[in-house]
Amino acid sequence: MAIGVLVSGSGSNLQAIIDGCADGTIPGQVTIVISNKDGVLALERARKAGIATAVVENSRAGGREAFEKNLAEVLERFGVQLICLAGFMRILSPWFVRRFAGRILNIHPALLPAFPGLEVQKRAVAAGVRFSGATVHFVDDGVDTGPIVIQAVVPVVPGDDAKSLAARILVQEHRIYPQAVRWYAQGRLRLVDGKVVLEGGDGVVNAMLDEGKKAWIYPPVS
């Protein structure tokens, strides 16, 4: 399966997907990495892995419509079958989402539907929640509102701040995002009438240990 990854920053989740493809966990290949910003670390990660890169910047003349048409053209030129947003700091329009319906995944560092948007770890700590985590979901017309594929739950421990919580969540992001991509590339994961269908899941919660802290993954990785 040809995978395209959209990035805006360091690309640690991009690296997790690249590694999954390289070791055979994901039966696919990242064929193109596209950033809306030049010079970001994610582009360097792609180049080191021998993956084609492109920078599609927002044009003041053409605005959002021109930007997304250029983005779509590059993705289609590289035969992309699945689009993964990995720290991509742009909201995609309904036009773009419809064009690639059921083929766009995103990773969000919170337990959606709680804390959509930005600064989520700071908001979670301020709210006094006892658990947070990460969510992989299909992208729809809203902001972090699409159908949920897989979630990882981590505890918020005494003394946590936004930085420490984000670091604990990131470890789980690197586990569940490649898992969701793997399911999709295997043909087990799809979107049907706006609902997630995952074939072959056993419905049992899988507890994973990370640095002495429990992280609950659902559906279980398999």
Mean pLDDT by 10 residues, the chain (222 residues): 97 98 97 96 98 87 84 97 96 96 98 95 95 97 95 94 96 96 97 92 47 70 68
Tell me the C-alpha distance between 1 and 146, whole Å: 22
Q: Is there a contact between 86 and 5 (Cβ–Cβ < 8 Å)?
A: yes
As a whole number of Å, the CA-based R_g of the chain is 17
Q: Is 142 domain-assigned?
A: no
- Indicate if 64 and 114 belong to the same structural domain: no
pLDDT at 222: 64
- Indicate if 73 and 117 belong to the same structural domain: no
Q: Is 141 domain-assigned?
A: no
pLDDT at 205: 44
pLDDT at 59: 66
Q: What is the pLDDT of residues 84-140, one digit of tens each?
A: 999 999 999 999 999 999 999 999 999 999 999 999 999 999 999 999 999 999 999
pLDDT at 64: 86
Residues 6+ apart with CB under 8 A from 18: 30, 45, 46, 49, 51
Instruction: Specify the pTM.
Output: 0.92
Report the CATH number at residue 13: 3.40.50.170
- Indicate if 114 and 179 belong to the same structural domain: yes
- Indicate if 36 and 130 belong to the same structural domain: no
Question: Looking at the 3D structure of the chain, how many domains does it have?
Answer: 2
Alpha helices for 85-206 (secondary structure H): 94-99, 120-127, 162-185
137 included as an active-site residue: no
pLDDT at 50: 98
Q: Which helix (H) or strand (E) holds 118?
A: none
The single residue of 108, 137, 174, 182 carrying the catalytic annotation is 108
In terms of residue numbers, what domain contains 25? 1-100
